[in-house]
Amino acid sequence: MAVDSSISSSSEKHATALQFIEDMTKNADSVQQKVLAEILTQNAETEYLRRYQLGGSTDRDTFKSKIPVITYEDLQPEIQRIANGDRSAILSAHPISEFLTSSGTSAGERKLMPTIQAELDRRQLLYSLLTPVMNLYVPGLDKGKALYFYFVKSETKTPGGLLARPVLTSYYKSDHFKTRPYDPYNVYTSPNEAILCPDSFQSMYTQMLCGLYQREEVLRVGAVFASGLLRAIRFLQLNWRELVHDIATGTLNSKITDPSIRECMVSRLKPNPKLAEFITSECSGEKWEGIINRIWPKTKYLDVIVTGAMAQYIPTLDYYSGGLPLACTMYASSECYFGLNLKPMCKPSEVAYTIMPNMGYFEFLPHDPTSASLLSRDSPPPRLVDLVDVEVGKEYELVITTYAGLYRYRVGDILRVTGFHNSAPQFHFVRRKNVLLSIDSDKTDEAELQSAVENASKLLREFNSSVVEYTSYADTKTIPGHYVIYWELLVKDPGNGPTDEVLNKCCLAMEESLNSVYRQGRVADNSIGPLEIRVVKSGTFEALMDYAISRGASINQYKVPRCVNFTPIMELLDSRVVSVHFSPACPHWTPERRR
Ligand code: AMP
């Protein structure tokens, strides 16, 4: 009886969710109009909107003519005041409940996104649409469990006492997640205690242990991003012996000291020598190809984001999973959750996200090389396009207005329209603007790389040497991946050139200069490996230019690419490497912000 009622209540919930998606996407424009009016009405008395003399208007035309299109840097003074404790209605009429720390950085530190309590409900609403959509394509997910590797990250307080933490940490620690009602379609193998443990080793160890114990029940394996799932596989490679010991004996590794994990694991740990033997036989061999299917044989798909920078991990995921389908279910950020993939089992290259019109007010800045100049101070405001007016095949930068108090804020994502679901457009995620290198959630731009090279090359001065040219590459062949920087040096006094030790220190000096998300990945998450400098023979970058010109580049306009990933270029560079250096230590990182 109980089972029947849970099935019927699930199918009712799913039908309601699907109907909601239909309603929102059929009425996308009127929903957008309503959302904008709601945001502007709620926040009419905020300092920000009053400054632009909206005078209580809530229509699009007035809004577009009076409110400027901005970036995070434009909003810094307001954000700083909120962080310092100013509780007046600066951006939002509702109290700012906390800051969400974005993986996008400003001046080397994570951006702080103010949020309000009600946004949690809006995020929850988007999450609640994912399973009903998936259920259309993959039946029977209520007959087993999900092995999802989810983690919380460290949190800090701003000088004014507001919490600052990543959006997923905020979500996992919320009652929405912790006290979620039983849902047969979303039963996780990981206990909340493991997900909520701030120590990444203990959290991962426990989640993996639980996943191994329940291997026969697992129907899907996932993490938020592809890099996270590969980290879990690497963790298994490194720690399977200890995990097997625990399974064989029914005890918990003494490295797991978190009291709430220890308490919740007591009832779950039973000696299971047969399982221990099986894991040993699978993990002790050289061959890790298809390991996911062998250990979790009922897995139907991997639930991980492999769009954008994460696409670099698709071949590795295919290797470990024997080519299981990869489901990219949603598109979201700290600023706002945007939308979902209505065909989650499609190929990664075909993923299109449908932005849900109820999540915020969305505008689109046509993306072309001249669009940057349109935003100079003296020129008229750029012409932004509304959600329903975007054109198939064109690229746009996403600009959002949110309930939490961002108005016409440039997110920095470039999207291409692939089609429509009803009147709501669907977008291919093209790339994040200005990102050169990314391994995990780190996003290193050209300016950051340049200043890191400059800082590191100071160490070369006493050897009368300098960096004449450089380029970079995100090496994701190993797990965790790492940054590779190719350096061509000018050594004026070859008898007294920089030693290996100095070049190793240069690696560390570069890491010290990179942003806090990078350093956190190195220090706390172990999601990024030590930075590598490959010194190439003198003349290499000229050869690189010759190669580019032979392929049609103009001599006048040729610029050294600051990041490379084209195989012939990599081969050219690698064939001229004279020495290889790695960072000898972790860079400095603490949860506290530097400023
Ligand atoms: P954060 O501010 O740290 O939450 O990061 C949000 C950013 O992650 C977005 O603006 C995108 O650049 C990226 N992102 C989020 N979801 C996806 C997705 N499904 N595919 C590609 N990139 C994504």
Residue 519 lies in a domain: yes
Whether residue 119 sits in one domain with residue 97: yes
Are the CB atoms for 319 and 329 separated by under 8 Å? no
* Cα separation, 560 vs 35, whole angstroms: 46
Domain assignment of residue 550, yes or no = yes
Q: Has residue 181 been placed in a domain?
A: no
Residue 1: is its pLDDT beyond 80? no
Q: Are residues 445 and 388 in the same domain?
A: no
The residue to mutate among 110, 333, 399, having the most atoms of ligand 1 within 8 angstroms of its beta carbon, is 333
**Does residue 195 fall inside a structural domain?**
no
Q: Is the pLDDT of residue 482 over 70?
A: yes
Kindly indicate the confidence band of residue 393, based on its pLDDT and cuts at 50, 70 and 90. very high
- In this predicted structure, the answer to whether residue 191 has a pLDDT above a threshold of 60 is yes
Check the CA dihedral 27-30-33-36 and report its sign: negative
What is the position in ligand 1's atom list of the atom closest to the CA of 398?
Answer: 10
Provide the token pair at 57.
Answer: 């208007």
Same domain, 476 and 569: yes
CB 409 within 8 A of CB 113: no
Whether residues 6 and 105 share a domain: the answer is yes
pLDDT confidence of residue 374? 43
Kindly tell me if the per-residue pLDDT of 262 is higher than 70. Answer: yes
- The answer to whether 484 and 569 are in contact (CB under 8 A) is no
Shortest-distance Cα residue to atom 18 of ligand 1: 331
Q: How confident is the model at residue 594 (pLDDT cuts 50, 70, 90)?
A: confident
The predicted pLDDT at position 375 comes to: 47
Q: What is the pTM of this model?
A: 0.94
Give residue 176 CA to ligand 1 midpoint distance, Å. 22
Task: Provide the pLDDT for residue 379.
Answer: 60
The C-alpha atoms of residue 535 and residue 578 are separated, in whole angstroms, by 6
Does 172 fall in a domain? no
Protein residue with least CA distance to atom 7, ligand 1:
333
Kindly state the average pLDDT of the residues 15-34.
98
Phi, psi of 327 (to 5 degrees): -105, 120
Enumerate residues lining ligand 1, CB below 6 A. Answer: 102-104, 167, 305, 307-308, 328, 331-334, 411, 413, 429, 432, 441
CB of 413 within 8 A of CB of 432? yes
For atom 9 of ligand 1, the residue with the nearest CA is 333
Write out the residue range of the structural domain in which residue 412 sits: 1-138+332-371+382-433
Q: Which atom of ligand 1 is nearest to the CA of 432?
A: 12
- Give the Å distance between the CA of 550 and the centre of ligand 1: 37
List the residue whose alpha carbon is closest to atom 13 of ligand 1.
Answer: 333
| Tokens representing residue 385 in the block | 């396009």
pLDDT beyond 90 at 9: no
The sign of the CA dihedral 86, 92, 95, 99 is negative
Least confident of 115-124, 202-211, 301-310, 362-371: 362-371
The pLDDT of residue 306 is 97
**Measured distance CA(305)–CA(201) in Å, rounded:** 22
Beta bridge partners of residue 220, listed in sequence order: 146, 301
Structural contact between residues 70 and 40, judged by C-beta atoms closer than 8 angstroms: no
Mean pLDDT value of segment 194-204: 97
Contact 558, 549 (CB under 8 A): yes
Assigned domain for 502 exists = yes
- Is residue 7 located within the same domain as residue 133? yes
Distance from the alpha carbon of residue 167 to the mean position of ligand 1, in angstroms: 11
Q: Tens digits of per-residue pLDDT, 488-498?
A: 999 999 899 99
Helix segments in 167-218, DSSP class H = 167-172, 175-178, 192-195, 200-213
Average confidence (pLDDT) over 189-211: 97
Mean pLDDT for the stretch of residues 419-436: 97
Ligand 1 atom at minimum distance from 411 CA:
10
- 233-245: string of b/e by CB count within 10 Å (b at 16+)? bbbbeebbeebbe
Which tokens sit at 127? 């999450």
Instruction: Give 54-87 pLDDT, tens digit per residue.
Output: 989 999 999 999 999 999 999 999 999 999 999 9
Q: Whose CA is nearest to atom 17 of ligand 1?
A: 331
269: in domain: no
Which pLDDT belongs to residue 368? Answer: 78
Where is the domain boundary, 417, 433, 449? 433
Q: For ligand 1, atom 22, which residue shows the shortest CA distance?
A: 308
pLDDT digits (tens, 9 = 90+) for 316-362: 999 999 999 999 999 999 999 999 999 999 999 999 999 999 999 99
Radius of gyration of the chain from its Cα atoms, rounded to whole angstroms: 25
Structure confidence at residue 593 (pLDDT): 83
CA–centroid distance, 331 to ligand 1, in Å, is: 6
Q: Distance from the CA of 590 to the center of ligand 1, in angstroms?
A: 23
Spatial separation of the C-alpha atoms in residues 240 and 245, rounded to whole Å: 8
Sign of CA dihedral 477, 478, 480, 483: negative
Could you tell me if 62 and 105 lie in one domain? yes
pLDDT tens for 226-241 read 999 999 999 999 999 9
Report the DSSP pairing between strands 145-149 and 218-225.
parallel
Return the pLDDT at 36.
Answer: 98
Alpha-carbon span 410 to 398, nearest angstrom: 6
Q: Are residues 449 and 489 in the same domain?
A: yes
Q: What's the average model confidence in pLDDT over 392-420?
A: 98
Q: How far apart are the CA of 256 and the centre of ligand 1, in A? A: 32
Please name the residue that has the structure tokens 């003494």: 254
Supply the residue whose CA is at minimum distance from atom 20 of ligand 1. 307
Indicate which residue's Cα is closest to atom 8 of ligand 1. 333
Pocket probe mutation, ligand 1, options 115, 362, 429, max atoms within 8 Å of Cβ: 429
Distance (Å, whole) CA 466 – CA 464: 7
Total of domains in the chain: 2
For 571, which DSSP code?
A: H
Atom of ligand 1 nearest to the CA of 441: 3
User: Which two three-digit tokens encode residue 70?
Assistant: 């901005």
415 and 455 together in one domain: no
Distance 248 CA to ligand 1 centre (A): 40
Query: How close is the Cα of 145 to the center of ligand 1, in Å?
Result: 26
- Maximum distance among all alpha carbons in the chain? 85
Q: How far is the CA of 432 from the centre of ligand 1 (A)?
A: 8
Q: Is the pLDDT of residue 2 over 50?
A: no
Output the CA 332–ligand 1 centroid distance in Å: 6
**C-alpha 333 – ligand 1 centre gap (Å):** 5
Quick one: 421 and 476 in the same domain? no
| Same domain (yes/no): 409, 526 | no
**Cα 435 to Cα 309: distance, rounded to the nearest angstrom:** 9
pLDDT of 297 higher than 70: yes
Q: Which atom of ligand 1 is nearest to the CA of 330?
A: 19
The CA 353 to ligand 1 mean position distance, Å, reads: 12
Ligand 1 atom with the shortest distance to the CA of 353 = 19
Of all protein residues, the one whose alpha carbon is nearest to atom 10 of ligand 1 is 333
Q: Report the candidate in 92, 103, 142, 159 with the shortest Cα–Cα distance to residue 527.
A: 103
Pairing of strands 218-225, 301-305: parallel
Cβ–Cβ < 8 Å for 151, 203: yes
55 CA → ligand 1 middle, Å: 35
- Ligand 1 centre to CA of 251 (Å) is 39
Consecutive H or E run containing 263: helix 259-266
Pocket test for ligand 1, best of 101, 111, 305 (most atoms within 8 A of CB): 305
Q: Are residues 403 and 444 in the same domain?
A: no
Q: Of 41, 248, 284, 11, give the one whose Cα is nearest residue 142.
A: 11
**162 inside domain:** no
- Minimal-distance CA residue to ligand 1 atom 5: 333
pLDDT of residue 378: 56
Q: Can you give the pLDDT at residue 373?
A: 44
Residues 104 and 120 in one domain: yes
Atom of ligand 1 nearest to the CA of 305: 19
What is the residue-averaged pLDDT of the chain?
A: 95
CA–centroid distance, residue 349 to ligand 1 (Å): 16
Statement: residue 3 has pLDDT above 50: no
Mean pLDDT for 552-581 is 94
